[in-house]
Amino acid sequence: MLGRLNHVAIAVPDLAAAVAVYRNTLGARVTEPQALPDHGVTVVFIELGNTKIELLEPLGADSTIAGFLVKNPAGGMHHVCYEVDDILATRDQLKAAGTRILGDGEPKIGAHGKPVLFLHPKDFQGTLVELEQV
Ligand SMILES: CC[C@H](C(=O)O)C(=O)SCCNC(=O)CCNC(=O)[C@H](O)C(C)(C)COP(=O)(O)OP(=O)(O)OC[C@H]1O[C@@H](n2cnc3c(N)ncnc32)[C@H](O)[C@@H]1OP(=O)(O)O
Ligand SMILES: [Co+2]
């Protein structure tokens, strides 16, 4: 079912400050900010060769990550994203296994222009899981 680890996401209260740390302190190559209003976030990616780090900050008043930042005001690990070959078949298998698919259960287009879904953190050892079809 699972392919590669596409990215590990870190939610941050201030994206520009987080980018400066990664770029200036860690020497990382960071993409330009990408506003994703459908997802209520602005993101950048740090390409690591074997996977990516996604830094994300809230976008808009009712961002999906606002609650997370209330509980974690300095930011923190937000989700992991695994690649899958067939997101609809994977979704249906997971639903049949009783897993909660977040949102309306239909894939949305994510930051990479690919369909993504999210699985409830309570079903995966307290970790929010994103699936991205590659
Ligand atoms: C797709 C674009 C981009 C990309 O990579 O391409 C992105 O990744 S965008 C990422 C932002 N979008 C999402 O996160 C969508 C999925 N997330 C959600 O639907 C919500 O954030 C949800 C349901 C995970 C949490 O909702 P909320 O913050 O309102 O909190 P709740 O009180 O309902 O949470 C219930 C329960 O889960 C715990 N929780 C919340 N967020 C996380 C998390 N990131 N990791 C682990 N656990 C999380 C929360 O603390 C609650 O636990 P409890 O023990 O009841 O306090
Ligand atoms: Co993500």
Interface confidence (ipTM) of the complex: 0.98
pLDDT tens for 23-47 read 999 999 999 999 999 999 999 999 9
CATH number of the 5-133 domain: 3.10.180.10
Please state the domain extents for the chain: 5-133
Q: What are phi and psi of 90, to 5 degrees?
A: -65, -45
Pocket around ligand 1 at a 6 A CB cut-off: 9, 36, 39, 41, 43, 54, 56, 64-65, 67-68, 71, 78-79, 81, 102, 110-111, 116, 118, 121, 126-128, 130
* Burial of 114 from C-beta contacts in 10 A (0-12 / 13-18 / 19+): middle
Q: What are the pLDDT digits (tens) for 44-94? A: 999 999 999 999 999 999 999 999 999 999 999 999 999 999 999 999 999
